[in-house]
Structure 1
C-alpha cells in the first residue's frame, strides 16, 4: 500500500462506514475506509435492510425522550433515501430496492402485552407523524398462507417503508466511494494510535501504520475493542453484539410477495420478517441474542427456530423450499441501548456505532451529520443525547425494565409452541418477576441494563462481568 497518510481514516467497511467515507470524499477529503473484504462479524452483510422506522416502533421506544429522539432520527433518514440512492449511479434504486412497502401483521402467536400493544403503537405513531398507511383485510394477503393456528388477525400496509438488498447496496457504496477518490484498505485495524490527548491514526493487523488528522471508529460491535486501548475507552458505554441469523430461500413455487411482511417486535428481537429478493428468492429474519463476543457461526436452535416461525406464521409452503444460504450478523448494541454518535473525547477521534437494528436505515443521515462535525461545521439535527462519552442513558425505572423483561421472556413461549395448564401462567409470573427483580439488584444497586441485557446476563457470565465493571467505572468517573 503506497499511501499511508490521509485526511480521515474510517475504521469499518459496513454500510455506515462506507456511507461516511463517501460523504467525506464528496466533500473533498482524502479518505481511507478500512476493513476486511469479507466483513467478518458485520451486521450489514446479513441485514434484511428494511428502509423504515415505524415497523420497529415499540411501546418502550416511544415512552422515553431518548427513544422518541431515536425514532425522529429514523423519520428524517427516511426522507433522505430517494436522493441517496439516486446518487449511487444510474439504475441504483432499481437494482437495490427489493420491496414495495411493508405489511405489518398481528397474528395469533404473540401475546397481547407485546404484539397487540406494539401493533397499535405503530399505528398511533404513524398517525402522530402523519405518515400514510392503510388497513388490509388478512384474507386479502394473497401470498400469506400461515398455519391456521398462526394466522394473521389484523394487518396494515405502510407504503413508504421499503427494503433493499444489503449486498447490492454495499457494492454500490464502495464503487461510489472509489469513484469519488476514496481509498479502500482491505485490512482491519489492530488498535488506535495516539499521542497524549490526540489520536494520530491506526495500526493495522499487518503491523502497518496509517496516519490522519481525524479517525472515525465505525466498526460496529468491534468498536469497544479498539476503544479499550485509549484513555477515553473507559468513559464510553461498551458495545456487545446482537447476534442474529437470517436465511435466504428459493421459494418452492418461484414466487415472492411484493412487500415486506413482518410482525411487530417481540421476544427481544425485531419481529419475524420476510422480504422479497430477485428471482423467487426471499430473505427471512431475524433472531437476536446478546453476546459479548461477535459471532460468525449460527447455533442450531436459532436456525431451526427461525425457519419454523417462517413456514408456520407466514407461508406453509416454505417447508418445501430449498435453503440457499444461512447468514450471521452482529448488530452493535451499547449497554444502555442507544447509539454512540459524535466526538470521541480525544482530539481527532470520532465514534459512530451502537445503532442496534437501525444503522443501515440511518446511514444517509448519520453520514451527513458526522461528516459535518468532522469538518467543523454545525449539524442539522441534535445528536448531543447520544454523545459517546456519557453516563449510561437510564430512561426507564428498574420496575419497568423488570416488567418488560418478564413480558418479553414470556412471549418466547408461544413462538416455541409451548402449551401450559391455565394456572401455570400465574405460577410462572409469581416466581419469575421477583427472581428478575432480585437479579437486577445483584447486577448493580443503581443502574439497570435494558431488558435484553438483563435477560442475557443471567445466562452469560461474561456479560454479567462486563455490566458490573462498567457500572463501577461509571460511579468512579462521573
Structure 2
C-alpha cells in the first residue's frame, strides 16, 4: 500500500520521531502529535545499544532484528548529526558484562554460550582481565564477557536531534494529546485531540509506546497487547575523572542486574528496575537503594559522585518482548509500538520499515517476525 496523502504520527518518542523523519525523506506529509515528549521511554532510558549483551535464549528473531538495527546505527547517527549539527554522543567502544560472585558467573557463562550459538561477537574474560578493561571495577569481580561492538547513545540528545530533523524536513510537531482515532466504516480518517479539534489523515501511525492502550477508538482487532513496564533509573555526575568509568558495564550482583553507562561528559546513568506497576512513574526508596547498592558494589568509586536525577520511565512491553510493526486490519492504521527494552536500539530499522511500508517499498526482512498479526496467529503484511 503506497501512501500519497497526510500522515499523522501519534507519539513523539524516539520511534515516532525517527519514523516521521524517514517518512518525510520519502516525500510524505507528516504531523507528529505528542503532549509531552519528556514522558517518552527514551527520555528516561540510558540509551544502551546492546544486541549482544542483552540477548536472551528464545529471542532469536529479536536478536536478528537488533543486530540488523545496530549495523545501521553509525550511518543513522552520522546522517542525523550532519542534518542537524547536533552531537548525540554515540559510543561504540563495547560493553562489558561482569559477575560479582560465583552464582553470577554461571549466568555470564550461559550468556556466552548463547553468543557462541548465535555467532555473536564476544570474548570471555577472567576477573583480572575485566579490571584491565575497566580499572574501577571491584577487585572481587569474578569474570565477564566483552562485547566489542555494543555501545550506547544519549537518547535525550537523539530526541532533540530528531525533533530538529523533523522540523528541518518540513514536518510539524504538535504538543497535543490524541484523544481517539476517527474511523469511518472500515478505515481511519484521522484523530481527535484533547482540545476537541479533528485532524484528518490518510494514514495514522500509532507510536504511543506504553500509552498505546490508552488511545481510544482503536478497533479491538487492531489493539496490540502492549503494557507498561516501569523502570527506575538514576543519573550521577562524576566530578573527578578518576571516578568516571570508561566503558558501559552491565553487571550481575547476587542474582540481580544493573547497568552503568558513562557519557562523554561527566554523567553516569545507572539502571534499571523492571516492575509491573501499571502506569505508575513513582520513584521509590526501594528502587533507588537497589540500583545504588548494586552499582556501588561493582564500582565503589561511584559513591563519590553526585546523585543528580531519579526518574521512572515506562517501557512498552509485549507478550514476546518484541515490537509490533506493520499495517493493522483497519485501512489506514499502522502500528509501530511495543519495543520494550530496545526502543533506542531499534529506532533506525523501525523507522526504515515504517517509511518503506508507507511508500510501498520492501521493508527490512528482519521486521517480518514482528508484524501485528502474530498475536492472533495470522500474518499481517
TM-score by length of 1: 0.72
The yes-or-no answer on 1:284 pairing with 2:270 is: yes
Q: Report if the CA contact (8 A) 1:107-1:153 is conserved.
A: yes
The yes-or-no answer on 1:308 pairing with 2:293 is: yes
Aligned with residue 189 of structure 2, among 166, 182, 200 = 200
Name the counterpart of 2:75.
Answer: 83
In 1, Cα distance between equivalents of 2:253 and 2:190:
39
Aligned residues: 370
1:57-136 paired onto structure 2 within 5 Å: 57-58=55-56, 62-63=57-58, 67-90=59-82, 95-98=88-91, 100-108=93-101, 110-111=103-104, 115-125=107-117, 128-129=118-119, 131=121, 133=123, 135=125
1:266-281 paired onto structure 2 within 5 Å: 271-281=257-267
1:43-442 paired onto structure 2 within 5 Å: 43-58=41-56, 62-63=57-58, 67-90=59-82, 95-98=88-91, 100-108=93-101, 110-111=103-104, 115-125=107-117, 128-129=118-119, 131=121, 133=123, 135=125, 137-146=129-138, 151-226=140-215, 229-231=217-219, 233-234=220-221, 236-251=223-238, 253-254=240-241, 255-263=243-251, 271-292=257-278, 294-312=279-297, 314-391=298-375
After the TM superposition, which of the residue ranges 131-140 and 254-263 deviates more from structure 2?
Answer: 131-140
Q: Secondary structure at the match of 1:331?
A: strand
1:426-465 paired onto structure 2 within 5 Å: none
**CA deviation vs aligned residue, 1:214-234 (integer Å, no higher than 9, x gap):** 1000000111222x5333x25
Q: Report if the CA contact (8 A) 2:46-2:154 is conserved.
A: yes
Q: Secondary structure at the match of 1:305?
A: helix
Could you tell me which runs of 5 or more consecutive residues in structure 2 were left unpaired when the two chains were aligned.
none
Given the superposition, is the C-alpha separation of residues 277 and 391 from structure 1 closer, same or farther in structure 2, using an over 3 Å criterion? Answer: closer
Q: Report if the CA contact (8 A) 2:18-2:162 is conserved.
A: yes
Shift of 1:13: 0.6
Q: Report if the CA contact (8 A) 2:244-2:302 is conserved.
A: no
In 1, Cα distance between equivalents of 2:232 and 2:210:
16
Q: Report if the CA contact (8 A) 2:222-2:328 is conserved.
A: no
Shift of 1:304: 1.2
In 1, Cα distance between equivalents of 2:161 and 2:168:
10
In 2, Cα distance between equivalents of 1:144 and 1:203:
53
Query: Using CA pairs below 8 Å that are at least 6 residues apart, which structure has the higher relative contact order?
Result: 2
In 2, Cα distance between equivalents of 1:266 and 1:36:
41
In 2, Cα distance between equivalents of 1:109 and 1:20:
44
In 2, Cα distance between equivalents of 1:118 and 1:93:
40
Q: Report if the CA contact (8 A) 2:349-2:364 is conserved.
A: no
In 2, Cα distance between equivalents of 1:109 and 1:221:
36
Shift of 1:266: 9.8
Q: Report if the CA contact (8 A) 1:344-1:388 is conserved.
A: yes
**CA deviation vs aligned residue, 1:358-413 (integer Å, no higher than 9, x gap):** 111011111111211122222231534322234368xxxxxxxxxxxxxxxxxxxx
Name the counterpart of 1:33.
Answer: 32
In 2, Cα distance between equivalents of 1:92 and 1:192:
36
